[in-house]
Amino acid sequence: MRGPGPNDPCWCGSGKKYKKCHRDQDAVSPPAGNEVRAGTVTPMRTVPPSIQPPSYARTGRPRAAPRISDPADRIARMRRVGRAAAEVLDLLSRAARPGVTTEELDVLAHEACIARGAYPSPLNYHGFPKAICTSVNEVILHGIPDSRPLQDGDVVSLDVTLYLDGVHGDCCGTVAVGKVDEESRRLLQIAEECMMKGIAAVRPGRPVSEIGRAVEAHASAHGYDVVRSFCGHGIGEDFHTDPQILHYFEPRARDLMREGMTFTVEPMITVGSAEHVVWPDGWTAVTADKKRAAQFEHTLLVTAGGAEILTALPGSG
């Protein structure tokens, strides 16, 4: 997820080495041409000691967590954290409106996690400085909340993960800010449909490649592309673990889905090219052509009949 090295080709396509082209400029501001500009990022917030932290809370370096031995107990915990994560995402989705900064959304999420007795999983994960990811317009994912106010016509992906009772629950939704254009409205619709097509492909005994096949087919049928550089993942006691869940068809992705598995389906769909570049902050991934992207995500439990969505609110679908 890091940007180009000094001797790598520059992201701009000039053919020059990064150090001879945009490196000095990028050290001051994001790559030229971006519609979204980085704002000021405030210091990392703290979490009360009464909240159970994950392994990386102090060091930023995750370690493998102890497994929960009772499958029924593990599933019960996953349902609780999934419901809590869904509540926080719903709260943020309703708060995202013109004039609100992504920093304000982060503070709201941070406090909502603590109110539920949960640790905001992204906080200090490999050094990430905030409680959530807020990815605006051409930002694909891992946007860092900052002082930039949301503007009428923006779209923003809100990626929320909570750590509660020893397990993580992860979800994301992209919402319209104010009145968006028809292209953006359709992007959000198709991106959410892509996620649901992937979820519908979940069945015990099937390879995980069937998820990517379903997502890619729906995106392509409507003229959209699927980001290949980032994927879904196993989740539970650890934030990210096997299996990898690709959102495009890869026949070598042969891991079989098994009843009781928990993982995310979280396709990133783009209006234009799915190629990306990463800002100098080492996190913010944007589309190379600066066209918009959208992401939707749920944490799932594989059941005998398919998939149970753990991060859906009751009555939401």
* CA–CA gap between residue 5 and residue 84 (Å, rounded): 39
Query: CATH number, domain at 274?
Result: 3.90.230.10
217 three-state secondary structure = helix
Write the pLDDT tens digit of every residue in 153-162.
Answer: 999 999 999 9
Q: Answer yes or no: is 5 within a domain.
A: no
The answer as to whether 183 is a domain residue is yes
Q: What is the mean pLDDT of residues 122-130?
A: 98
pLDDT of residue 315: 76
According to the model, what pLDDT value does residue 208 have? Answer: 98
pLDDT tens profile 43-85: 999 999 999 999 999 999 999 999 999 999 999 999 999 999 9
- Enclosing domain of residue 221: 69-309
| Range of lowest pLDDT (5-19, 104-118, 161-175, 199-213) | 5-19
Q: Quick check: 11 pLDDT over 60?
A: no
Within a domain: 92? yes
Residue 33 is predicted with a pLDDT of 43
If one counts every other C-beta atom within 10 angstroms of the C-beta of residue 171, the result is 25
In the block, tokens 């859906």 appear at 312
Evaluate if residue 10 carries a pLDDT over 90: no
pLDDT (mean) for 210-216:
98
> Residue 314: pLDDT above 90?
no
Pick the more confident residue, 316 or 273.
Answer: 273
Number of domains in the chain: 1
Calculate the average pLDDT of the chain.
92
Identify the burial level of 210 via C-beta atoms within 10 angstroms of its C-beta, where 0-12 means exposed, 13-18 middle and 19 or more buried.
Answer: middle
Q: Is 307 or 19 the better-scoring residue by pLDDT?
A: 307
Region 246-261: mean pLDDT is 97
Identify the band that residue 106 occupies on the pLDDT scale cut at 50, 70 and 90.
very high
Instruction: Flag whether pLDDT at 257 surpasses 70.
Output: yes
**Which three-class secondary structure string do you get for the chain?**
CCCCCCCCECCCCCCCEHHHCCHHHHCCCCCCCCCCCCCCCCCCCCCCCCCCCCCCCCCCCCCCCCCCCCHHHHHHHHHHHHHHHHHHHHHHHHHCCCCCEHHHHHHHHHHHHHHCCCEECCCCHHHCCCCCEEEECCEEECCCCCCCECCCCCEEEEEEEEEECCEEEEEEEEEECCCCCHHHHHHHHHHHHHHHHHHHCCCCCCECHHHHHHHHHHHHHCCCEECCCCCEEECCCCCCEEEEECCCCCCCCCCECCCCCEEEECCEEECCCCCEEECCCCCCEEECCCCCEEECEEEEEEECCEEEECCCCCCCC
Residue at 227 is within a domain = yes
Residue 98 lies inside a defined structural domain of this protein: yes
Per-residue confidence band for 29, with pLDDT thresholds at 50, 70 and 90: very low
**Does some domain include residue 19?**
no
Mean pLDDT of the region 287-294: 97
DSSP-derived secondary structure letter, 67: P
Integer Cα distance of 28 and 222 in angstroms: 38
Residue 141 tokens, joined: 């994912």
| 21 inside domain | no
Residue 174 lies in a domain: yes
Q: What is the pTM of this model?
A: 0.88
